[in-house]
Structure 1
Amino acid sequence: MSRVVILTLGLLGVLVGAFAVIWSKKAIDLQIGFYRKINWKLEPISWKKEIIVTKILGFFIFIIGVFVIMFFASSLLVD
């Protein structure tokens, strides 16, 4: 895979993860809006739990994105 694609995926992971952590409710609302467009009704049973889970998953996406970028940067130094 091209290095540009890998770096782009890493940056996208950092941005999406940060968005999910910082604006959890907005991220959930975007997901609900998407499902409404494909004729599905989606609603959390517990908003409190859903926001916590969204923050946790967003954090992991953020960390994975950071590791991808770190690996990319280290591979540039080796070459």
Structure 2
Amino acid sequence: MSEQVQVTLHEAKSQLLQLGARAWQGDRVVITKAGMPYLDLLPHVDTPQTRKPGRLKEKIRMSTDFDRTPEDIIEGVAGRL
């Protein structure tokens, strides 16, 4: 179960490694400045790569009949309906 940890900016400077470990374990770490919430310490999450259209151009080949269904498959499906 996660808990909330609240530390001052000065405390955070000296305890950064421990606070980072707690954030990774799921605790919510709030760093305060002048008694007010100032920063939330969160674990890093990779952002997905943005899609680049055309990056596989010339690398994928499809046969000219890729969208034709063979007759034996059509007959097999039609026979079961």
Q: Same fold (TM over 0.5)?
A: no
Larger Rg: 2
User: Which is richer in strand?
Assistant: 2
Q: TM-score, normalised on structure 1? A: 0.23
User: Which is richer in helix?
Assistant: 1
Q: Bigger relative contact order, structure 1 or 2, given CA contacts below 8 A and separation 6+?
A: 1
